[in-house]
Structure 1
């Protein structure tokens, strides 16, 4: 492990805006389920970003929407370190990060229900045969059903056409209601709020390279 990555791995355990969980067995038991101990400064709707990476998207959302709380979820501690440090330096009290596998969010959250979910530029896993690792595969949609409130909005943004088409089919097959979708987000003239107002560094790069950004808004019944 590189020296810088090791340093981040050690430091992140002490960050006040990070919950670092570890799974201990196949029954999804977690070493320390401490979600309730890390309450936000204000009790308000909580939005999750699945696979948040460095947290750019949820940090920008937190800046734009102080009336909501945001939690970024990812497995890579060194990526979370960057987002958590940025949020801490800016004094953002309505965003925090959780190091956890998406599959274990149900036991981690318990009865807590989230008001909205964003899946922003996830790995398309185009080398896998059946797409089961994609974050819009049926097994992951079942997780989202358990952790979001009934009727909550979920959003997918991607530059990958294969993931976009796969997601549309997966959503239909798994009983989701597709509220809006486009294979060219920035050609749409209607107001789409945070879907277009917030862009990560990678998204800006993709747009500059001429890649079309795809977007799906849906809910799970």
Structure 2
């Protein structure tokens, strides 16, 4: 392991805005995010596959009276967002280092107000559908964790993943599609991200890739 990664992992161990294995709060946080981590009762917004946390931190800047949690398994990526939040004094930001398929071990029923899935791995190969963060497997996990009426936002540059996701949610009876577009920046929903772009989004956009966007909620 490189010295740079060791330094970053050490910082994650010491930074209270990182919840990860080895810290007592890691085993106790389910249902306790507002009371234990944020010490307030503000809305809880979660970003999955947050990477370096640009979007999580960006939202926290715009909405100081909401709580934001970025989830990713890569500690060296989380370090960037964690450090930025600390430097800027953003106390409404936290990062959870875990695999996303274990999300229900860290959030209680109805604990999440809103969910963002931003530029996840498309897993394009046949047979990998269940690994996609918008597959039935994951949707069934998200549903009880979201409060009633809580919105799920999904952004990607990958047309195959987007079409797969859109077709899936459109045929589920427990989902209401609130909006979708194959060209986010030319759509009526272009302000839904509040001008915040991740590193990957900037890179894809500069290459001419159109950004796709979908938002929906669970019903019934």
Q: TM-score, structure 2 length as denominator?
A: 0.89
State how many pairs are aligned: 213
8 A Cα contact 1:185 1:196, kept in partner: no
Distance (Å, rounded) in 1 between the aligned partners of 2:178 and 2:110? 25
Deviation at 1:195, TM superposition (A): 2.5
Q: Decide whether aligned partners of structure 1 residues 193 and 187 sit closer, same or farther in structure 2, where only a CA change above 3 A counts.
A: closer
In structure 1, stretches of 5+ residues that fail to align are 23-29
Q: Per-residue CA shift, 1:93-112, capped at 9, x if unaligned? A: 11110011222221222346
Instruction: Look up the match of 1:7.
Output: 7
Distance (Å, rounded) in 1 between the aligned partners of 2:159 and 2:189? 23
Instruction: Look up the match of 1:86.
Output: 84
8 A Cα contact 1:21 1:33, kept in partner: no
Instruction: Look up the match of 1:187.
Output: 186
Q: Per-residue CA shift, 1:134-192, capped at 9, x if unaligned? A: 1000111011102110111110000000010010122134432111000001111x354
Task: Find runs of 4+ consecutive structure 1 residues off by over 4 angstroms.
Answer: none
In structure 2, stretches of 5+ residues that fail to align are none
Q: Decide whether aligned partners of structure 1 residues 31 and 208 sit closer, same or farther in structure 2, where only a CA change above 3 A counts.
A: closer
8 A Cα contact 1:21 1:98, kept in partner: no
Q: Per-residue CA shift, 1:177-221, capped at 9, x if unaligned? A: 111000001111x35433252211221221111110000011122
Give the RMSD, CA atoms, in angstroms.
1.9
Deviation at 1:128, TM superposition (A): 4.4
